[in-house]
Structure 1
Amino acid sequence: MTDSTASFVPSYYLYYDSPVKVVGTPDGGARLWRLSADDGAWKERNDLFVDVVLAVGGDVFTIDVSRFVQEVEWYRARYLSGEGPIFALYETVDAIVAVAEGERRRLTPAEQAMVHGIRRKTFVMFEEELQRAGHPGADPTLARQPGDAQSGA
């Protein structure tokens, strides 16, 4: 990785509310991946590199990896629908949030921890599915924390 690339790789952003990540390449370069609202996969969008990394002309926010994982899963849950364990977990998060909203209160610390943990889990599950399908932008390791098992969060 070149010195100029090393200063911002990896990095995580919200670009007009869409999660974006910049990751290094084996040759020392960088790739920019934007989350697709169509299928929840990563689309290579190097054409956005200057706009995102230099925050040119708009709604761009740098975020840490933990918040990035949460934003990705909020985005997927909002824009995607389907069946199976990932979508059941999205519904669980929605139910937790709906109860708090119905009671006109913030999530309790226990609820926040539950939502955060579920989203970490769904991130790993979704990214592992993307990897199995051959999507090069998938990286389930972003949601893993020290002490997690290798096969999941």
Structure 2
Amino acid sequence: MTESYSPPGLALPYYFLYYKVPGKMVATSEGGAAIWRLSGEAGGWEPRNDIADDILYGTTQEVNVLTREEFVQKTEAVRGRYLRGEGPVFALYDTIRGIEEVAEAENRRLSDRERLLVEGLRRRTYVMFETELLAQGDPAADPTLAG
């Protein structure tokens, strides 16, 4: 079990980017909190209570607060950009990359329709990836966030 602590007056869950990497601070069953940061290597969650002071008191250059939806989108943007593999979730990551690459090649932003499609696909891949992490025993996996 990951060691927890009690954050002073912070509403949980709390979602953030820490040096451009998604993370979350969640309540523990003991009444404290635990911090989890996305692992770029496997796409799962690594315990990072050691960054609590930076999250709570760091500069805006280090920490950016996210909404739940922004957290889901940023998490899946990172996973889709850096992870490779086989299976349905990776096929969806490839689809998202393809949509983004076409817009980039045409030197334009995503159209509203493309943006909505990418956001919907990312919500779907989040659920799929988190469900698999949960099955593998990742204690921070939460497929319900994208619902």
- After TM superposition, list the pairs within 5 Å mapping 1:129-144 onto structure 2: 129-144=132-147
Q: Does 1:86 align with 2:113?
A: no
User: CA contact under 8 A between 2:7 and 2:33: conserved in structure 1?
Assistant: no
Equivalent residue, structure 2, for 1:108: 111
User: How many Å separate the matches in 1 of 2:60 and 2:117?
Assistant: 36
User: CA contact under 8 A between 1:19 and 1:72: conserved in structure 2?
Assistant: yes
Aligned length: 143
Report Cα offsets for 1:83-105 as digits up to 9, x if no partner.
11111000000011111111111
Q: Does 1:27 align with 2:38?
A: no
Query: 1:78, CA displacement in angstroms?
Result: 1.5
Runs of 5+ in structure 2 lacking a partner?
Answer: 1-5
- After TM superposition, list the pairs within 5 Å mapping 1:66-77 onto structure 2: 66-77=69-80
Moved more, 56-65 or 70-79: 56-65
User: How many Å separate the matches in 1 of 2:43 and 2:143?
Assistant: 13
Moved more, 53-62 or 103-112: 53-62
TM-score (norm 1): 0.88
RMSD over aligned CA atoms reads 1.8
User: How many Å separate the matches in 2 of 1:63 and 1:121?
Assistant: 19
Q: Secondary structure at the match of 2:24?
A: strand
Runs of 5+ in structure 1 lacking a partner?
Answer: 145-153
Query: 1:52, CA displacement in angstroms?
Result: 1.2
Query: 1:27, CA displacement in angstroms?
Result: 1.6
- Alignment identity in percent? 48
User: CA contact under 8 A between 1:51 and 1:57: conserved in structure 2?
Assistant: no
Pair 127,82 (structure 1): closer, same or farther in 2 beyond 3 Å: same
Q: Secondary structure at the match of 2:101?
A: helix
User: How many Å separate the matches in 2 of 1:79 and 1:66?
Assistant: 20
TM-score (norm 2): 0.91
User: How many Å separate the matches in 2 of 1:57 and 1:70?
Assistant: 20
User: CA contact under 8 A between 1:35 and 1:41: conserved in structure 2?
Assistant: yes
User: CA contact under 8 A between 1:5 and 1:30: conserved in structure 2?
Assistant: no
